[in-house]
Amino acid sequence: MNAANRRMRGGGGVDGAIHRAGGPEVLADCIERFPEGLATGDAGVTTAGRLPAKWVIHTVGPNFAAGEHDPALLASCYRRSLQVADELGARSVAFPLVSAGVYGWPRRDAVRIAVRTLLSTETRVDDVRVVAFDEDLHDLVQSAITHRMALHLLESVRVLHDRGYQTVRALPYMSPSGLHWRVEISDTPFYTDASARRSVGYSTAGGLQFVGTAVTATTSPEVFAELIVRALPGLAPAADPRYAAWYSELLDVVNEQDELPVAFADDYAPQPGWEIGWGSGVRVPEPPAAV
């Protein structure tokens, strides 16, 4: 996929690199197919010319530096590109990070929009990749992928509540270094002695592993719920409707903010409630006591 400009006549960055590698055939096809150019947020296809690919899907990202700040336009670039890929019957697509170069979109936000949109868009493409230009960008992409996976893991506790396992609780917190988010999931109160507490844990330091199983950002909350049940043998349905209602409200805020909750961390003084997004100041009340 090529991050093009509205004129569709080649340019710098990824656009220039693709035209140079693909040869004049790519430009000739751009002129024929897009005589009036292409609108921001839209996508279209040309030959790949001399590139080792069947097609180039071109999309025009919003120019943040020129005042185009609408995240819906940036999300549309990825969504429309996948729609074009489906129309072509493509099985794999490699994406650059749209608008995060000379167009100036803040990189962290650009990564989050890209990963969230690619994971939430229905597509028949089997292999979707985000190609990072440098190590820092690679780390941002990896962090965004783990973030989406962690959200699915939290959602799996709500799935278990809906199935009647309402005593299952989650305790999210930051590691002592402040670098990694962690969560402990247990069917016994967290104040229970650690030797008697049945629980499973996850840390973003562990990447795409949970209870010894390889997972991905596309692993569904239902699959995570099954992994938790298997990891806590003897788990039985039990009612705790007050906690289940509180947790559902918590997740509504988490999804609205698109941030992970934090119950406590070494780097700030205890405050009432849980924070949604470490350092954000957005807080929710503490959970009700265990039954």
Active-site residue list? 15
Output the CA angle 277-283-288, nearest 5 degrees: 115
Torsion angles phi and psi, residue 105, rounded to 5: -65, 130
CB 71 within 8 A of CB 41: no
